[in-house]
Amino acid sequence: MPFRLQAGPAGEAERLREERRFFHTIAELGFQERRTQAAIIERLRAAGLTRIETLGGTGVVAVVEGASASGRGRSVLWRADIDGLPLREETGLPFAADGAAMHACGHDGHIAVALGLARLLQTAASTPGGLRGRVVLVFQPAEELGAGAEAMLSDGLLERFPADVALGFHVSADLQPGLVNVTDGPVMAAVTDLRCTVRGHGGHGALPHQAVDAIVAASHLVVAWQTVVSRNVPPDRSAALTIGTIHGGQKENIIAAEVALSGTVRTFEDGVRERVLRRVEEIAHGVAAAMGAEVELQMETRPPAVVNDPQVSTRVRTAATAVVGPDAVVSGRTTGGDDMALFLQRVPGCYFMVGMQPKAGPHYPHHHARFDFDDRYLALALELAWEAVRGELESR
């Protein structure tokens, strides 16, 4: 891939990899990122940044002021999430985490790139004419809980640090190395959590006619829900519905009185989401009634879809084309979710993805205990971040 880190000093690419691997070893769960928070603050101070604050519990905000920061220049928010997942790592890597949390989604890479961007911005701001405007670096906790962005916004992030545009990127182990995904409009899906309790009437396994089998009712319900996407979502739209857990029963000869189900619904458009959730509810009550059971259903959407502003994504696409060439810039959506959506609801912006698929060996997906990515391409992500931020600061 024909790119080089033009924005930073020699050795920056290796520093990015070292920092990513350090943060990988200390992965922490959402709102527990105390060591991660302290390490971020330490590195920001070492880079010369002086306006550093904590927000949203374990989040960090740092500001780099350039020329024309008051009154005339633009303000750009750059967001990086910092939490890990509740997984015991199975990669066998020399920098593997040894606790109950793991960076299995690339957030360690997001931290490293944001710190690299802070260093580049601070160097530019120290040079006359080197930086126009202001950049707000947001290190957000608890993305995997879908709660960190909300916590920072509730703490007054945008009131205290107003922004004209919001940017960020996500590591992608699904994209080939060096490809950059910049998409107009919806790029990641709204996430709706689904929890359902099916209640029947327990009894002896040898006398099923005396009972209402909650396991049978729940089984019919799971199968019926699989028709929602195929038969209720228009073919030119998309959605996903997955039942991830099913729990019920105590013994092989006892008919279960209650079964608990949980799952997820992913949609890009409000109209599609409303239709899917309506059918989920109708089918739940209909199947339960047909089986003589009762059902209790809870559905909560958090976060909403990640929607890029077309004008901002056009400028990011221009920056990406300048770095990697037009053939390496692609577009496409994913049904993964991200609470970057909450920032983009408040501020126009763009969330893009950088391909870092491992070079060799099996490719494990995001959120897998053996997940890894090719961190040599963090240098590319930093180059893109620098060009995108600079392009927004100079935009009118």
The reply to whether 177 falls in a domain is yes
The reply to whether 5 falls in a domain is no
Comparing 108-117, 125-134, 143-152, the range with the smallest average pLDDT is: 125-134
Alpha helices (H) along 155-251: 157-160, 214-225, 227-232
| Same domain flag for 224 and 330 | no
What value does the mean pLDDT of the chain take? 95
Q: What is the pLDDT of residue 1?
A: 37
Domain boundary residue, one of 245, 275, 301: 301
Three-state DSSP class for 232? helix
| Strands across the sheet containing 51-55 | 51-55, 59-65, 134-140, 75-81, 165-172, 349-355, 180-181, 329-330
| Same domain flag for 292 and 344 | no
Please give the residue range of the domain that contains residue 207: 190-301
What is the domain count for the chain? 2
Q: What percent of the chain has pLDDT over 90?
A: 91
Q: Is the Cα torsion angle 327, 104, 38, 94 positive or negative in sign?
A: negative
| Same domain flag for 166 and 229 | no
Residues in the chain, total: 396
Alpha helices (H) along the chain: 12-25, 34-46, 107-125, 148-154, 157-160, 214-225, 227-232, 270-290, 310-324, 340-346, 378-393
The reply to whether 4 falls in a domain is no
The reply to whether 346 falls in a domain is yes
Q: Report the distance separating Cα 1 and Cα 384, nearest Å.
A: 14
| Same domain flag for 47 and 135 | yes
From the list 300, 30, 307, the residue with the least C-alpha distance to 147 is 30
| Same domain flag for 241 and 178 | no
Are the CB atoms for 100 and 139 separated by under 8 Å? Answer: no
Are the CB atoms for 375 and 16 separated by under 8 Å? Answer: yes
Confidence band, pLDDT 50/70/90 cuts, at residue 362: confident
Tokens of 12: 């920056």
Give the bridge partners for 308, in sequence order: 185
Mean pLDDT along residues 286-299: 98
Q: pLDDT of 47-65, one tens digit each?
A: 999 999 999 999 999 999 9
Domain boundary residue, one of 261, 280, 301: 301
| Same domain flag for 160 and 212 | no
The reply to whether 44 falls in a domain is yes
Domain boundary residue, one of 301, 325, 360: 301
Confidence band, pLDDT 50/70/90 cuts, at residue 152: very high
Q: pLDDT of 14-24, one tens digit each?
A: 999 999 999 99
Confidence band, pLDDT 50/70/90 cuts, at residue 4: low
Comparing 2-11, 66-75, 138-147, 162-171, the range with the smallest average pLDDT is: 2-11
Q: What is the pLDDT of residue 2?
A: 39
DSSP 280-314: HHHHHHHHHHHTT-EEEEEEEE-S--EEE-HHHHH
Q: Report the distance separating Cα 187 and Cα 24, nearest Å.
A: 26
| Same domain flag for 380 and 325 | yes
CA 176 to chain CA mean position, Å: 19
| Same domain flag for 349 and 273 | no
